[in-house]
Amino acid sequence: MSLLFRWHALLREQSPVAIATVIEGPGDSLGGKLLVTPDDHEGGAGDEDLDRAIVEAARGLLEGGKTETRHFGPRGQRRMEDVAVFIQSFAPPPKMYVFGAIDFASAVARIGKFLGYRVIVCDARAVFATRDRFPSADEVVVAWPDEFLKTAEVDHRSVICVLTHDPKFDVPVLKAALDTPAGYIGAMGSRRTHNNRTARLKEEGVIDEQLGRVSSPIGLDIGSRTPEETAVAIAAEIIAFRTGHAGGRLAERTGPIHTPDPDVSESPDAKAELDARREAAGAARDAR
């Protein structure tokens, strides 16, 4: 199947796809094309390492529905300008649903927009759910959260953040959220709030397997206190959840920073970086 034919087929299916074209670079790479989806890729730019770098960049842009020109070295090196690649994404931005028009929701809406999400804020209280309070949101909806979510467009890229702190809102909306394919569902509250909420959800017929999809208390443990700090913690967990990482400090890890995607092998540069770090660590131990 040609790239063009498959591209048209994916567009008809409304499946996310990116087309990467080398617009500047060495003769053997110039004009090279890659079709990239979240799960696989086709085509090439004449060098496996360059292909690997292009696929990684294209998937990152595709996640946010963005189109950009990226630059690489001839073998995919970062911070080099030899090769220019135009990457065009054919996918709407993923959606972030924020339920609960509180101060924390305003900060989450801002960082969600920064990450490339289409942000929708929803609350049943018209006095709080206003455009003035959420200028960064794409939509501000006055409705009961669970009723709104039942008619909302939710797919595996969607993020649902329940920040209501009120059982009459968050229990019904979480139950509705668990009936969707959303890639991330998080709920704010203390551990006591979480335990009470879990008990109520079980009374509503939600089983343990479903409850395992809810990240509560929401966010990574970074000691956040303010709405802005909490939004950073929530954003970090969303990214970690999407990429399959557990979080933690990079300084305490070994190995390459960027994990290869499932359908591409580890690059020689990444292996060299790992070997160098291991050698440096061994030298430091010997010095002690």
User: What was the pLDDT predicted at 261?
Assistant: 53
The domains of the chain are located at 3-90, 95-243
User: What was the pLDDT predicted at 32?
Assistant: 94
CA distance 105 to 31: 45
- For 131-148, what is the mean pLDDT? 95
Where is pLDDT greater, at 132 or 249? 132
User: What was the pLDDT predicted at 270?
Assistant: 44
- For 45-54, what is the mean pLDDT? 94
Max CA distance (Å), the chain? 65
- Using CA atoms, how far residue 284 sits from 7, 273, 280, in Å, is 51, 17, 6
Of 75, 9, 69, the residue nearest 37 (C-alpha) = 9
- pLDDT of 62 over the 60 cut: yes
Residues 6+ apart with CB under 8 A from 206: 175, 178
Q: Which residues pair with 89 in a beta bridge?
A: 18
- For 153-170, what is the mean pLDDT? 90
- pLDDT of 115 over the 60 cut: yes
User: What was the pLDDT predicted at 160?
Assistant: 98
CA distance 5 to 19: 13
- pLDDT of 92 over the 70 cut: yes
How do residues 180-235 score in pLDDT, each as one tens digit? 999 999 999 888 989 999 999 999 899 999 999 999 999 999 999 999 999 999 99
Cite the beta strand spans of 46-204 per DSSP E: 68-72, 83-90, 95-99, 118-123, 139-142, 159-162, 184-187
User: What was the pLDDT predicted at 166?
Assistant: 83
- pLDDT of 275 over the 90 cut: no
CA distance 278 to 270: 12
Structure tokens at 247: 């979080």
- CATH code matching the domain that covers 95-243, chosen among 1.10.3720.10, 3.40.640.10, 3.40.50.720, 1.20.1070.10: 3.40.50.720
pLDDT band at 269 (very low <50, low <70, confident <90, very high): very low
Mean model confidence pLDDT for the chain: 87
